[in-house]
Amino acid sequence: MPRILVLYYSSYGHVRALAHAEAEGARSVPGAIVDLRRVPETVPEPVRQNAGYVADDTPEAAPADLAAYDAIIFGTPTRFGMMAGQMKQFLDQAGGLWAKNALVGKVAAVFASTGSQHGGHEATLLSTQIPLQHFGMLIAGLPYTFGGQTTRDGIVGGAPYGAGTIAGADGALQPTETDLAGARFQGAHVARLAARLAAAEPAREVA
């Protein structure tokens, strides 16, 4: 039975909505055990209040938790064209796991929310995959077998590199049905891959 972690950071709820859809998709795969966790907030309370961040009572993960999963799906908003510092801070604390090769051969996937259509959506999805490759994880994207990938109906997020949404410059947009379907598709895709890999020999040979 594959264990899947959906791990995210969200200031205004867009990534959180996608995270729930990712978890729903992963849970649709028989036998999958799915946890939904957020990375700890690092921004001081007065700054959060001033910027209107929304509260989130989802349980937090600790870096050491990652080793227990067969697959991890990472969600982040775009910050200046790349992942949020909260997520980077979390990953930067996983050096001990890297040193022990504890994540080698596990499945990883990324999803993202971005303010504007060309403000770094694909850059965020792709660059967030870089540290995951350092961990030795196998990257799963959002394949074109998801029909919504090529929709021409309105503004949608997502790319072959992962599910996503476009929040709007003022954050007023919400994930569309296509965005949420993409996140569910990616969650199920990852869970199916993890189930196959969990049944196989771990790929952790050291040479």
Ligand X SMILES: Cc1cc2nc3c(=O)[nH]c(=O)nc-3n(C[C@H](O)[C@H](O)[C@H](O)COP(=O)(O)O)c2cc1C
Interface contacts to ligand X, rule CB under 6 A: 10-15, 77-81, 113-116, 119-120, 167, 171
Of 35 and 41, CB closest to ligand X = 41
Of 120 and 141, CB closest to ligand X = 120
Q: Closest CB to ligand X belongs to which residue?
A: 119
Q: C-beta of 171: minimal distance to ligand X in Å?
A: 5
Of 20 and 192, CB closest to ligand X = 20
Of 2 and 13, CB closest to ligand X = 13
Q: C-beta of 28: minimal distance to ligand X in Å?
A: 23
Tokens 């967030």 locate to 128
Q: C-beta of 94: minimal distance to ligand X in Å?
A: 22
